[in-house]
Amino acid sequence: MESQLDRDISSLPPEAQKQIRDFVAFMKARYTPGSKMKTRGGRLTDDPFIGMWSGREDLQDSTAWVREVRQKEWGNHQ
């Protein structure tokens, strides 16, 4: 039997469904006993997400990147 949550997720576009899968995988890793991710304590710089986009050339100018993403997503509706 399909739950309401399953139906809600199925109604989303594929990219949104991928984001949900990624988030669930992140949460499982964070809360799995013995995982390397810590739920509290430790240094922020030790978290795996720090620096994950450091090598991306397209993010060197974050303002331009946001402007471009918005343009692609919403067109020229200023």
- 71 falls within a domain: no
- 74 falls within a domain: no
- 8 falls within a domain: yes
d(CA 9, CA 59): 29
- 11 falls within a domain: yes
d(CA 2, CA 77): 39
Which residues form the domain of 29? 1-40
d(CA 21, CA 52): 18
- 60 falls within a domain: no
Confidence of residue 77 (pLDDT cuts 50, 70, 90): low
- 49 falls within a domain: no
d(CA 64, CA 59): 8
- 34 falls within a domain: yes
11-68: pLDDT as tens digits:
999 999 999 999 999 898 888 877 665 555 677 777 777 888 788 888 788 899 889 8
d(CA 50, CA 37): 12
**pTM flag (> 0.85):** no
